[in-house]
Structure 1
Amino acid sequence: MKVQVASFCRTQLPRVSRTFALNIPLLPEPLDLAVTVAYLLCRIADTLEDEAPGALHGALLDELGGLVSLEPGWEARARSFARRARLALRDEAPPAEAELVSETPTVLETLASLPSWVHPPIARCVRTMAGGMNQIQRMHGGSGQVMGLPDLQATFMYCYYVAGVVGEMLTGLFVASSPRVAWREERLMSRAPAFGRALQLTNILKDVREDLDRGSCWLPRDRMAAHGLTPATLALPSLRANAVALLDELVAVARRELDVALEYSLALPVEEPGLRLFCLYPLFFAAATLDVVEGNPAVFEPEPVKIPRETVAMLMQLTQERVGSDEALRALHASVSRGSRDGAEAWS
């Protein structure tokens, strides 16, 4: 394996994801690098969706979906793609994400250097994600702006395309890398989409104001209408109580998805603590985030709502201490979900 290209991927990861920079290093080699590369490729797709005009990013997403197959001649096509994709980004695109798009050939070169069992799950994931993003955009005229999805089923479909497929990909990689996991494949795969959907739905609720400011909204329009809201009125101070009630309803939906995500994580063998921790860290972060979001009108203000770093550190410590006990992990999940606003000390 070429050390230089792998080094770029490892270095770039914490620049584009605080959460996954914490849990990916817990995975055994070469699974850690495989998941790093997979995450970066998905982040490239996400950056194109968020930061390139709709008329441009549709074709670019299709091209990225083709590149991950690493068919002969991919190197030249990847260099051409990276130049055009970088030029397509808005000037306001985050610098680290713009750099990542420019280095698409480096990420693909790292993918090519990994064992062959890594390639099929990652290629399928990126192709499905890119195709799904394009499908969502076509439903909205390809403008690059999505101001609400028709209903909760459509929101779930979006969450599947951008995150549920990641749960399936991770399962494929886990199964291929560990005989201990392989015999649990059916149990894991049936829960894998919910694992990804839960994390994505949490992000949608947490980032609702940021998305609105960028001209997007991924909440179901029928549920907004039931609360007397539209995407255009969602952040109005005069309708704040309605908006909080809407989010509380969707927080309950996200919590049900997190319950399934917990079962997914506990289906991983205790003999693979790195795999368990990889899944449990973001799960507990999401549970704590939902408790911050619930009943909180500040979610609709410009300043992002986040869980404190001390909470993140404590959750990591408590999860590490309990990683081998399903009973203790279930108790921690119930405790975190009951209300992180009561203080992290309540979880110890």
Structure 2
Amino acid sequence: MSSYSVSYDTLDDKAYQNHILLGVSRTFALTIPQLPPKLREIVANGYLLCRIADTIEDEPTLTLEQKKSFSNAFTAVVKGQTSAQSFAQSLYPLLSDRTLATERELIKNTPRIIQITHGFTPRQRTAIERCVRIMCEGMPQFQNTASLRGLADMEAMNKYCYFVAGVVGEMLTELFCDYSPEANHHCEELRRLTLSFGQGLQMTNILKDIWDDRERRICWLPRSIFEQVNFDLENLNPNHYHPAFGDGLQYLIGITHTHLRNALTYTLLIPPKDVGIRRFCLWAIGFAILTLRKLHQNLDFSTSQQVKISRRSVKATILLTNIAASHNKVLTLLFNLAARGIPLIPLDATKIDGKQSSVLKAP
């Protein structure tokens, strides 16, 4: 029996939140504790709410109508408009064994997470509620049409990344600026970069998980990119590498690289005194750029395990970024060393406040 299925009743709500986080995300369970305590509690709570929204969308036995109904109900729960207990009691029995046991437990204990949410300040709750609402509205647009054909084009990929990661970045930016008066001075610049940050992390995951997604009969790659190199995504096969696929993959790696550079720029705008927030961002960026380097060096990979960074790399990233966390020039040097040799594809210029900038806008 999993250790996450016992002893919940002996934990208070905040202790339960910390405990379940370990069960549903190894990465965030590693990075969130780097944040200052007050911010740590809010970010962990926001992440778990997003994970509940993900669980609804990922449960394979729910019909599209059920998913829509539960997503709408969950949005109302987060806003305090309907009962969290009723939501949990209705959804939990419908979850299959194909949903992780820890995620099923999270659904069952939704009221405990919501109890914490409703104790936050109005600005904090607004940021969290907006994130959950947009995520619950946006994800079904893609889940309902997901197939091995992939997404239509980069615009569709941008939108998908926004609904699953960009909105989370927007939430985090608002929470960071609410917590830190110094960060709040740069809030507009942080907002301008946050979607690119989220997209860089999400595109890294999409590229790494190509074959895992394919087993689920899903592909999140943009067809138009591969059509330009005369490759049909429906012909993708882990046992047969095609150089044209590698060309398309390299292009997406280059775009992802540019987004991760924007993520570094975002992080360097966080005041050095807020070192916990910097570490939270830097670890995620470090893991992503090292994964991207492995992808670049192994275009013919056939399992996600082949491009997963080693524990040694994880430890080195943590050590080096902790040492250099307050030193912008050193952090830039470390990023450049990690990114050496990875292609860099400029993003399409987007007008923001009348100026040209290589960042994204929300759909």
TM-score, L = length of structure 2 = 0.85
User: Which residue of 254, 257, 273 corresponds with 1:255?
Assistant: 257
Question: SS of the counterpart of 2:270?
Answer: coil
Equivalence map 1:216-231=2 (5 Å): 216-231=218-233
Most deviating of 246-255 and 114-123: 114-123
**Aligned: 1:34 with 2:36:** no
Q: What is the distance in 1 between the residues matched to 2:148 and 2:19?
A: 32
Contact 1:5 1:106 in 2 (8 A): yes
| Match of residue 68 from structure 1 | 78
Identity %: 36
Instruction: Show structure 2 runs of 5+ residues with no match.
Output: 1-9, 343-363
Matched, 1:310 2:312: yes
CA distance in 2, matches of 1:260, 1:268: 13
Write the deviation string for residues 174-221 of structure 1: whole angstroms up to 9, x where unpaired: 111111111111111111111111111110001111111112111101
Rounded Cα–Cα distance in structure 1 between residues aligned with 2:92 and 2:232: 34
**1:190 & 1:89 partners in 2: Cα distance?**
38
Cα gap change, 1:83 to 1:246, in 2 (>3 Å): farther
> Against the structure 1 CA distance between its residues 236 and 17, is the aligned structure 2 distance closer, same or farther, given a 3 Å change threshold?
closer
Whether 1:105 aligns to 2:123 is no
Q: Distance in 2 between matches of 1:284 and 1:86?
A: 36
Q: Of residues 267, 270, 277 in structure 1, which corresponds to 2:269?
A: 267
> How many pairs are equivalent?
331
Query: What does residue 52 of structure 2 align with?
Result: 44
Question: Which deviates more from structure 2 when the two are superposed, residues 59-68 or residues 327-336?
Answer: 59-68
- Structure 2 CA distance for aligned equivalents of residues 215 and 84 of structure 1: 28
Shift of residue 164 of structure 1?
0.6
Match of residue 67 from structure 2: 57
Task: Show CA shifts across 1:264-304 (max 9, x none).
Answer: 00010111111111111101110000011114145333756
Q: Distance in 2 between matches of 1:59 and 1:225?
A: 37
* 3-state SS of paired residue (1:30): helix
RMSD: 2.1
Q: In structure 2, give the amino acid aligned to 1:91.
A: D
TM-score between the two structures when normalised by the length of structure 1: 0.89
Cα deviation, residue 333, structure 1: 0.6
3-state SS of the aligned residue for 1:114? coil
Asked if the contact 2:298–2:307 (Cα under 8 Å) also holds between the matched residues in 1, the reply is: no
Residue matched to 1:153: 155
Residue matched to 2:23 = 15
Cα distance in 2 for partners of 1:191, 1:87 equals 41
**Compared with structure 1, are the counterparts of its residues 308 and 339 closer, same or farther at alpha carbon in structure 2 (3 Å cutoff)?**
farther
1:6 aligns with 2:35: no
SS in structure 2 of the partner of residue 217 of structure 1: coil
- Within-5 A mapping of 1:157-306: 157-297=159-299, 299-301=301-303, 303=305, 305-306=307-308
Separation in 2 of the partners of 1:182 and 1:176? 7
Equivalent position of 1:327 in the other structure: 329
